[in-house]
Structure 1
Amino acid sequence: MKISKVFLYDEPSVPEININELGRFIKEKFCVEVEIREQFFSFFKDSTSKIAYELATSKIFNLLAPFEKRTPTSEEIILEENSITNFTNTSNIVMYDGFEFRQIVANTIPEIESRPDKFHLICTNKLTCTYDYEDYRYHGRAVICSNPAIISTTGIIEAPAKPREYYLGMFENMVQGLNLDMMKNQFKGKYLEYHDVKLSEIIKGYAMQALFYYLTGQPFCESKDCRLYNAHWQEDLLHSQLTVSNLCNQHQKILDEITKNCE
């Protein structure tokens, strides 16, 4: 598989992404042309009403059951339309089935840009989730690997778990009626927060995972010392993306092979 161009879509509600820096990173690492575009739903604003309806049908209402599409109410459709036209309203976290969300995006992209050599990478603040048949429940996902690929900034924050001690401390403080802010300060820096400046670096690793999946069929690495590591804990995410901030030797060789004829 050879990519001739990457279309990279911004998420203006999360300026910490630093979309221009991300575009330069992808161009440098994968030796590919990158076109930076505005937020996906703004770029394809002619389809706003249709997209709003489809997004409303992709919402998750039962975390313990596989996805079941339902007919949304008019109020739900209006809420979705407002959410994709008003970037500043990010107070409510809504869960969407990741594969349904991905299909909505794919159906919106025109056929001329849907050729296999065109790769679409969408950054969004919407929380994408997938159902796990091992524990029979939905889980938040930071990245949905496909073409188009989805990177959820909310998923980056919420999907990898915080330190175990954080949850124990949270529970103890709640039981004792203590202020939770002091406990949060104790763990500050050990996990990502909303509008965290570290997001600009973290998201590069997820972009690499999405591109590796499309180019090789294997997005993840088993080593924590690689940017392709599929972190389930925030501490592992910070380690692989910030402390290490590189590919392992094996995946660097694969990337070198992919880009060996780069001009």
Structure 2
Amino acid sequence: MKISKIVLYDEPTVPEIQLEKIREFISNALNIEVEVKGNFFESIDHDMCKKIATTRIFDLKNPFKVHTPSTEEIQIETQNKDMSNRKEMTLYDGFELQNIISKHIPSIENTLHIILTNKLTATFDQNDFRYHARSLISSNPTIISTAGIIEAPAKPKQYYLDLMTNFSENRVEEVMKKYKGEFLEYHDPRLYEILEGYVLQAILYYKTGEAFCDKKECRLFNAHWQKDLFYSQIENKKICKHHQEIINDFNN
């Protein structure tokens, strides 16, 4: 798939200076024009807010069923606030959300649109018949969920075992404090560096159709654990030989 330009849409929790760093990283790595636009969800009308609210998920164990949104839910979409400030994160069906967005994105030849959002996207897995949070919904437009990057890769195993002991709201706070630094939290400064890798993943996935990388030492690795996410995107921060060849071909 030929790509001549990337259009990157920001989201409320990503500072402008960090978005510019992501733009520079992608532009330099792939020798491609990257245009940064404002938050996609700030420019949508009431009708589209209502459509987006219909993609909300409340039953994790059954395939998607169109939700009939309340007036309050539609109002939340129109306000377009930082979703991480809410006590309970709302899940959105990633494919349904993508389909709605695609109808409001201009179709420009060889241009890939990447939407950053703090909405928590999920897809239904036919293998275990339940929804799972997802960081990346690929295609054009691509959706990268910052909430998904935080919620989808698992925290340390012992974290969950500790939570099961005398579970309570205070216990959650205690366990989070105990393992602080071992996983991403909302507004975590490490998120922006990790976002670089996800944007790169999105672009190469769209271009080649290859599903990520199986090597933890590569920034194209699809991490299922937070510790692996930190290693591939921050500690190691390298590209494997195979994907470097694809990048070289991209630049040529």
Query: TM-score normalized by structure 2?
Result: 0.93
Q: Determine the C-alpha separation between the residues in 2 that align with 1:230 and 1:17.
A: 26
Does structure 1 conserve the Cα–Cα contact (< 8 Å) formed by 2:218 and 2:237? yes
Alpha-carbon distance change, 218 to 88 in structure 1, aligned in 2, over 3 angstroms: closer
Unaligned runs of 5+ in 2: none
The CA deviation at 1:2 is 2.1
Mapped pair 1:201 → 2:224: no
Q: What is the SS of the residue equivalent to 1:75? A: helix
Report matched runs for 1:85-104 at 5 Å.
86-87=81-82, 90-91=85-86, 92-104=88-100
Alpha-carbon distance change, 96 to 179 in structure 1, aligned in 2, over 3 angstroms: closer
Alpha-carbon distance change, 73 to 194 in structure 1, aligned in 2, over 3 angstroms: closer
Q: What is the SS of the residue equivalent to 1:108? A: coil
Q: Determine the C-alpha separation between the residues in 1 that align with 2:121 and 2:221.
A: 19
The CA deviation at 1:29 is 1.0
The CA deviation at 1:30 is 1.3
Q: Determine the C-alpha separation between the residues in 1 that align with 2:104 and 2:84.
A: 23
Query: TM-score normalized by structure 1?
Result: 0.89
**Equivalent pairs: percent with the same residue?**
46
The equivalent of 1:106 in structure 2 is 102
Q: Determine the C-alpha separation between the residues in 1 that align with 2:59 and 2:16.
A: 32
Q: Which of 158, 167, 175 is the equivalent residue of 1:174?
A: 167
Q: Determine the C-alpha separation between the residues in 2 that align with 1:242 and 1:89.
A: 23
Q: Determine the C-alpha separation between the residues in 1 that align with 2:31 and 2:12.
A: 26
Name the aligned partner's letter for residue 147 of structure 2.
T
Mapped pair 1:143 → 2:143: no
The equivalent of 1:48 in structure 2 is 45
Q: Determine the C-alpha separation between the residues in 1 that align with 2:64 and 2:182.
A: 33
Alpha-carbon distance change, 116 to 218 in structure 1, aligned in 2, over 3 angstroms: farther
Unaligned runs of 5+ in 1: none
The equivalent of 1:233 in structure 2 is 225
Q: Which of 137, 150, 158 is the equivalent residue of 1:157?
A: 150
Q: Determine the C-alpha separation between the residues in 1 that align with 2:244 and 2:228.
A: 20
The CA deviation at 1:77 is 1.9
The equivalent of 1:21 in structure 2 is 21
- Provide, for residues 162-221 of structure 1, a one-character-per-residue CA deviation record: whole Å limited to 9, x for no partner: 01011111222538x975444323322211111111111111111111101111011400
CA RMSD of aligned residues (A): 2.0
Alpha-carbon distance change, 135 to 228 in structure 1, aligned in 2, over 3 angstroms: same
Q: Determine the C-alpha separation between the residues in 1 that align with 2:72 and 2:190.
A: 36
Name the aligned partner's letter for residue 157 of structure 2.
R
The equivalent of 1:74 in structure 2 is 71
The equivalent of 1:213 in structure 2 is 205
Does structure 2 conserve the Cα–Cα contact (< 8 Å) formed by 1:145 and 1:209? no
Alpha-carbon distance change, 75 to 185 in structure 1, aligned in 2, over 3 angstroms: closer
